[in-house]
């Protein structure tokens, strides 16, 4: 796994193209380490996660992990890595092509936006290996409803980017030749609006299913207070008065 930082942008690349970026023993540790580094880097506003080679991610590398058995702790580490992505106070974009299977699909669920080509195929195939599809069992129903989540998680069947878009699992899907241009376009748009308001909004959305109304209101008011006190809010108000685009900086 590789991470490259270019000013306010960070690019995480799943980099085992010879096995369609399948997840090995080192995978969760590598992702956790990258997230820990990015969490401390105040320059970074937007993170793009993509796969090298012919696919985004084909899920667990069964050839590498099945021989001596998959350690139970590996599943915990993987979920902690997914959670670290989910809790980054950055705008996280998942760019998926060809295959987004198993852990690849789970990784996409913890990102803020998902972009796919029109040829991308999706599946949670864990049940076919007599496994549980991780905390995808927690997140998937929140995205698409329990009925659809049951079908995907319990059958392990493949479905298209068009179907994923219709369900709300994909935010944008484009013809494969236009994929890189679309990722760049969405990335630049996200970069323009990355601010304390966006970060606090992401924080609140992460709590949306977990607390009651009164608790959420209390947290919202605290977040709104932080947002109103930020330099970025003052810049947004000045830009509005001056009829120009705001220029946010941390």
> Is the predicted pLDDT of residue 17 greater than 70, yes or no?
yes
Alpha helix positions (H), the chain? 27-40, 62-65, 72-86, 103-109, 136-144, 146-155, 161-167, 179-193, 196-205, 213-228, 231-241
Per-residue model confidence (pLDDT) at position 9: 97
Tens digits of per-residue pLDDT, 206-250?
A: 999 999 999 999 999 999 999 999 998 998 999 889 999 888 876
Give the integer Cα–Cα distance in Å for 103 and 136: 9
Report which of residues 70 and 164 the model is more confident about.
Answer: 164
Work out the number of other CB atoms within 10 angstroms of the CB of residue 103.
27
Per-residue model confidence (pLDDT) at position 70: 85
**Which pTM was predicted?**
0.93
Per-residue model confidence (pLDDT) at position 248: 84
Average pLDDT, the chain: 94
Per-residue model confidence (pLDDT) at position 250: 62
Q: Considering the chain, what percentage of its residues have pLDDT values greater than 70?
A: 98
> Two tokens at 108?
């996409």
Residue 122 main-chain phi, psi, to 5 deg: -125, 150
């Amino acid at each position: 796994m590789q991470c490259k930082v270019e000013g306010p942008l960070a690019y995480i690349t799943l980099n085992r193209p010879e096995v369609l970026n399948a997840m090995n023993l080192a995978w969760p540790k590598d992702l956790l380490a990258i997230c820990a580094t990015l969490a401390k880097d105040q320059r970074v506003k937007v993170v793009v996660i993509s796969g090298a080679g012919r696919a985004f991610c084909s899920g667990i590398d069964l050839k590498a992990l099945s021989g001596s058995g998959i350690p139970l702790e590996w599943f915990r580490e993987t979920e902690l890595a997914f959670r670290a992505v989910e809790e980054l106070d950055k705008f996280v974009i998942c760019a998926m092509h060809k295959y987004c299977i198993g852990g690849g699909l789970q990784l996409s669920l913890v990102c803020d936006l998902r972009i796919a080509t029109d040829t991308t195929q999706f599946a949670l195939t864990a049940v076919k290996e007599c496994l549980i599809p991780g905390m995808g069992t927690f997140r998937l129903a929140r995205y698409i409803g329990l009925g659809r989540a049951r079908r995907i998680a319990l059958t392990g069947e493949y479905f298209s980017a068009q179907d994923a878009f219709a369900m709300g699992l994909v935010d944008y899907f484009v013809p494969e030749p236009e994929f890189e241009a679309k990722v760049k376009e969405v990335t630049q748009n996200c970069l323009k609006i990355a601010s304390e308001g966006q970060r606090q909004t992401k924080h609140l959305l992460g709590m949306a299913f977990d607390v009651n109304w009164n608790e959420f209101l209390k947290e919202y008011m605290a977040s709104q207070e932080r947002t109103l006190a930020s330099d970025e809010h003052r810049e947004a108000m000045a830009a509005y008065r001056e009829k120009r685009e705001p220029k946010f900086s941390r």
